[in-house]
Amino acid sequence: MEAPKDPDSNPSGIDDSELELYTIPSHSRWFVWDEIHETEKTALKEFFDGSSFSRTPKVYKEYRDFIINKYREEPSKRLTFTEVRKSLVGDVSLLHKVFIFLENWGLINYGAPSTHTGDNLAAKDEERCKVRIEGAPNGVRVVSTPNSLKPISVPRNPRSTGDAVSSSTAYKLPPLASFSDVYGDFMRQKELTCGVCSDICDSGHYKSIQDDFVICVKCFKNGLYGEKRSMDDFKLLESNENSGKHGAVWTEGEILLLLESVLKHGDDWELVAQSVQTKNKLDCISKLIELPFGELMLGSAHRIGNNNSANGVVNGAKQVQSSSSDQQETSKTEDHICEHTNENAQNGDVKQSPSKRQRIDSLSDSSCSLMKQVGLISTVVDPHITAAAADAAVMALCEENLCPREIFDAEEDNYSNDSFFSNLNGYSARALESEGSEVERSSQSEMRDRSPKKDDIPSTLRIRAAIATALGAAAARAKLLADQEDREIEHQVAIIIEAQNKKLQHKIKHFEDLELLMEKEYAEMEELKHSILTERIDVLQKTFSAGISRWKDYPPMKS
């Protein structure tokens, strides 16, 4: 052990060189030298149920402290159970249990070269927090870095020399923050903290060449290099470089890929990370958490949708003006996209996935042209409803923009055309499977019909009208569905009530039958009783007439 064993031999002035830095996993931050934590009590309850003389809390604490100290004499070496047990008195099975417990929690052999659990430990390495130990076992204090946030152990009793007191003032524990508490591990990657003053290095930092020890610029300038390090060991790293290195920048495509794979694989982050490819697991998780949902999400989806569809319209217009082969090509791609949309919609119907996923769904659709979506939605409901919705939307827009309704008139024709068209289609093949093709046809026709004529109407206005139409149509559809559902429920309830009624009636009938039976039985019983009585009287009379005394009858009966 590098630090002196006896706390008294350690003078109260502490420099970093006299502090030992140990690493324990952050999930073991409950550990305190002076106390026995609940975790320990539940895991090793035989020590605490008072069942045995040889298993007491005191014995446990001695075991624990000894094993941990033994390990810390040489943290780089893996401590084995066989090494420990020779020094401890007690049942080896029990000692083994304690040893395994400590090892599992990382209080010993954490980060030591392992023989069997190498992969595990390497994975856990990222969620480390630091433990400071000063010299003696009892003086050990556990101090968290800003990222672990909770103090692992605030020195409770300053009895162990002056060290604890002076050092506790020397290191300030950062305030709690709930977000980073929960996502501290992800934060870590982006925010580096100074190893000396524990501040966040936002501007840039110096990194030790030998290991990952990091200090901030301020500390570097002040000459605080941390224990056993000199100025030459450090290399300046700019924060930009750092953020770039961690791949915090996500392209739209990557986000899309992420969302799609989350939809596909759910919580299985390994698979998600695999399909995203360019990002690792942690990145994926943190990105998904960062992504806004709810209102924000919808808003962004709209924005993206707007942009996309505006482009699409422009493109469409161009292509219509250009050769027809181009047109064919676009319609082909459109087909593809629409099929995709339809598929998604069907999935949504079948799975009834939670709101989060559905939102992702809608976002991932945003790559598809908005017009196609509108087309899809409006064919889901009856054409006249679509027409009404479109009408209402146009009205509202006209009022809002103070523009004459006439500019939409041409469009109106189109809408009626459309609705007629889809009317025909809709009634001929209403089945869900064929809907995709139907949509695609109707939307194609929409495009073809409209694009050449309506260059005079501002495209944004048209898009807004289309969106409003779609929303209206969707709402109508929803209303229809809800109504149908309502009727269904009513019907079911009626059936249930009827069934219950029938059941009750059957029961009543059954009871009536029973009653009849009982009455019959009762009558029979009465009759029987009567006959027995008469018989008895008859017998008695006979005996009397025969002149036999009744007292003589009884003795033989008794014996």
Residue 154 corresponds to which tokens in the numbers above? 């605030």
Q: Does 62 bind another protein (CB under 8 A)?
A: yes
Whole-number Cα distances in Å, 61 to 68, 185, 255, 257, 426: 10, 31, 51, 52, 78
* Residue 138 lies near another protein (rule: CB under 8 A): no
Closer to another protein by CB, 98 or 377: give it.
98
CA distance 14 to 116: 38
- 57 is a contact residue toward another protein (CB under 8 A): no
Q: Which stretch binds another protein (CB under 8 A): 8-16, 76-84, 383-391, 417-425?
A: 76-84
Listed ranges 50-58, 105-113, 179-187, 476-484: which one lies at the site for another protein (CB under 8 A): 50-58
Identify residue 160 by its one-letter amino acid code.
S
Name which position in 9, 12, 17, 80 contacts another protein (CB under 8 A): 80
User: What string of DSSP letters covers 144-188?
Assistant: --TTT-S-S-----TTSTTHHHHHHHHSPPPPP-HHHHHHHHHHH
Cβ proximity of 361 and 471 under 8 Å: no
Smallest distance from another protein to CB 92, Å: 5
| CB nearer another protein, residue 86 or residue 552 | 86
Smallest distance from the beta carbon of 145 to another protein, in angstroms? 33
Asked if residues 76 and 111 have their Cβ atoms less than 8 Å apart, the reply is: no
Q: Of 92 and 548, which has the nearer Cβ to another protein?
A: 92
> Could you say which residues in the range 116-135 bind another protein, by CB under 8 A?
116
Per CB under 8 A, the segment of 77-85, 228-236, 272-280, 295-303 that binds another protein is 77-85
471 exposure class (CB count in 10 Å sphere: 0-12, 13-18, 19+): middle
> CA-based angle 129:135:138, to the nearest 5?
80
Residue from 23, 39, 56, 208 in contact with another protein (CB under 8 A): 56
Burial of 406 (0-12, 13-18, 19+ CB in 10 A): exposed
Stretches 81-89, 304-312, 329-337, 469-477: which one binds another protein (CB under 8 A)?
81-89
130: DSSP letter:
E
326 in contact with another protein (CB under 8 A): no
Among 20, 83, 260, 339, binds another protein (CB under 8 A): 83
DSSP 286: H
Query: Quick check: 86 binds another protein (CB under 8 A)?
Result: yes
Helix (H, G, I), strand (E, B) or coil at 269: helix
Please give the single-letter amino acid code of residue 505: Q
Q: Does 492 bind another protein (CB under 8 A)?
A: no
Q: Specify the residue, 95 or 480, whose C-beta has the smaller distance to another protein.
A: 95
Torsion of CA 273, 274, 278, 283, to 10 degrees: 10
- What are the CB-based long-range contacts (under 8 Å, 24+) for 169-175? 170/14, 171/143, 171/198, 172/198, 173/143, 173/144, 174/146, 174/149, 174/198
User: Residue 129 pairs with which residues in a beta bridge?
Assistant: 24
Is residue 472 within 8 A of residue 390, CB to CB? The reply is: yes
How big is the site for another protein, counted in residues (CB under 8 A)? 32
Tell me which of 14, 19, 44, 94 binds another protein, using CB under 8 A. 94
Of positions 9, 12, 17, 51, contacts another protein by CB under 8 A: 51
Assess 88 for contact with another protein (CB under 8 A): yes
Q: 1, 16, 39, 96: which one contacts another protein (CB under 8 A)?
A: 96
Interface segment toward another protein; rule CB under 8 A; list 74-82, 194-202, 328-336, 340-348: 74-82
If binding is defined by CB under 8 A, does position 42 make contact with another protein?
A: no
> Which of 12, 17, 27, 92 touches another protein (CB under 8 A)?
92
For another protein, the binding residues (CB under 8 A) are 45-46, 49-54, 56, 58-59, 62-63, 66, 80-83, 85-94, 96-97, 115-116
